[in-house]
Amino acid sequence: MVRSGLFKTATIIFAAIALMLCSSCISFRSEMAGMYSSDSPKTNEPAPVTVFFHFSHLEQEIGFDVVPKIVQPRRGFRDIFGESMKQLTNVRSFATFTDNDNDIDNVERRKFRDSLKSTNDFTIHITFRRENSFAKHVLGTIFTWGMFDIVPIGYSWNYIVKADVCNPAGKVIRSYSRTSDLTTWHNIIFLFVYPFYPSEMKIEEIYLESMQNIFRQIDAEGVITK
């Protein structure tokens, strides 16, 4: 009888763990805040310019990280950037540089970055920042395991995209920002719904929509003109 009871208990625990491992998720995003919506056509054709695109990808868990941490670009970022570049109509040539977490120890990379700033007509420093609440995510994980993943739990991230347009001397000419929230819900019942609401697609939408809109505004306002 004792062995039978232990076997039933072990079976229940195993089944609960198996269900949690099979858990899936669906993601929803908010509307982009700070969007530029003017459709006014440009009145002149500015001269072609050279542009240096400086990318910083940051992540911070509020309540755990004291300062934002440098992370690698997300998958497919180059394709997203290439598509967004179509919004800029007077870029003759451009260079790119992406921050690494070891740049503080790499003098040559820092010199190369600074040389790109001084040799191009304009620098557009684009920062992609991803934030969440560490406490809320930890409590959500505890609740998920405590309820054996029966109740759907949502985890939220805030995405802030900021672009500073600078001249060769480093003076900021114009700044732009876009923000959007992404909430991912975890539960076993989403196993068959996940293919229609993957977080990867929603994050890519945020990156593409924010960068395209910022570039469209820069182009419409004629900011990168000599």
- How confident is the model over 37-87, as pLDDT tens digits? 877 666 678 899 999 999 999 999 999 999 999 999 999 999 999 999 999
DSSP H helical ranges for 24-161: 77-84, 107-119, 134-146
Cβ-defined contacts of 78-87 (< 8 Å, 24+):
80/204, 80/207, 80/208, 80/211, 81/53, 81/211, 83/208, 83/212, 84/208, 84/211, 84/212, 84/215, 85/215, 87/212, 87/215, 87/216, 87/218, 87/219
Identity at 72, one-letter amino acid code: Q
Token readout for 190 is 């989403």
Token readout for 88 is 């800029």
Q: How does pLDDT run along the chain (226 residues), one tens digit per residue?
A: 545 554 455 444 443 444 444 457 788 899 999 999 877 666 678 899 999 999 999 999 999 999 999 999 999 999 999 999 999 999 999 999 999 999 999 999 999 999 999 999 999 999 999 999 888 877 766 766 655 556 667 789 999 999 999 999 999 999 999 999 999 887 777 767 667 678 899 999 999 999 999 999 999 999 999 8
Token readout for 145 is 């395991």
Please provide the DSSP assignment of 57-95 as one string: EEEEEETTBSS-EE-PPPTTHHHHHHHHGGG-S-EEEEE
